A = this chain, B = another copy of it.
């Protein structure tokens, strides 16, 4: 029997047996058109079907589980089940990719600058009063200036949470995911590089004002206004964040 291979972009890669089995199971699931919650064959059945040992089957299951495709439960009625990946898990898997590629504020804001105005333009007039008040509830958490550095950090994260919330409200799953991911990445970067540290009163005040005007435009269903306000919000946030970054670097150097 020739070694199983898969044609990738350039060279042939030899797959280990658990990987082969995981691939085979994945294809089988797609062929069967199984949906989230559907049960896969039990371990003994898999062992028989693939002619592999328990250990190998288990490793294959771990692979699928790590990719967020299945979940396992013990006990009677338990087994391995097709699973719909959560957005959180998808974001976590993708951040692994960017772990070694260090993103800059410029990279992040180049995306935000064009995507977020588009998002709110399509959101205007479609949000329920409940959704709008959830946005306002987040804004309320940074209604007053922070007293401590700790609080400063929390407010910074909360103001990004505002954008993550907007992203979740999109009826475009692609748009929603991308913006939520970018927002989270920015949040992680801010915390990691302590970009909240020299408290930036201007960033706080202007951001708050823009967000208030934005919610107003969303409630009024004024799409053009929402887009414009978000554009201004992003532009000022970018320049203030980059100034902040320069300040942190300056303080680090001296």
Chain A interface (Cβ < 8 Å from any Cβ of B): 8-9, 16, 18-19, 22, 35-36, 55, 58-59, 62-69, 72, 84-85, 87-90, 93-94, 96-98, 100-101, 103, 106-108, 110-111, 113-115, 118, 122, 172-175, 177-178, 182, 185
Name 26 A/B residue pairs within 8 A (Cβ), A-sorted.
Answer: A9-B88, A18-B62, A55-B55, A55-B58, A58-B59, A62-B62, A62-B66, A63-B65, A63-B66, A64-B66, A67-B67, A67-B93, A69-B96, A85-B97, A89-B97, A98-B174, A98-B177, A101-B173, A106-B172, A107-B173, A108-B174, A110-B174, A111-B172, A111-B174, A114-B114, A115-B115
CB closest chain-B residue, reference A36:
B100
Across the A-B interface, give the 7 residue pairs with the lowest CB-CB distance, nearest first.
Answer: A90-B97, A66-B66, A63-B66, A114-B114, A107-B172, A101-B173, A59-B62
CA separation between A66 and B101, bound complex, in Å? 19
Q: Is the CB of B84 within 8 A of A174?
A: no
- Cβ distance A154 to chain B, nearest Cβ, rounded Å: 16
Point out the residues of chain B lying under 8 angstroms from A98, CB to CB: 173-174, 177
Point out the residues of chain B lying under 8 angstroms from A172, CB to CB: 106-107, 110-111
Q: Is the CB of A68 within 8 A of B94?
A: no
Point out the residues of chain B lying under 8 angstroms from A175, CB to CB: 107, 110-111
Q: Is the CB of A97 within 8 A of B68?
A: yes
Q: Is the CB of A174 within 8 A of B62?
A: no
> Given A93-B67, A94-B94, does the pair A103, B62 have CB atoms closer than 8 Å?
no
Point out the residues of chain B lying under 8 angstroms from A66, CB to CB: 22, 62-64, 66-67
Point out the residues of chain B lying under 8 angstroms from A103, CB to CB: 173-174
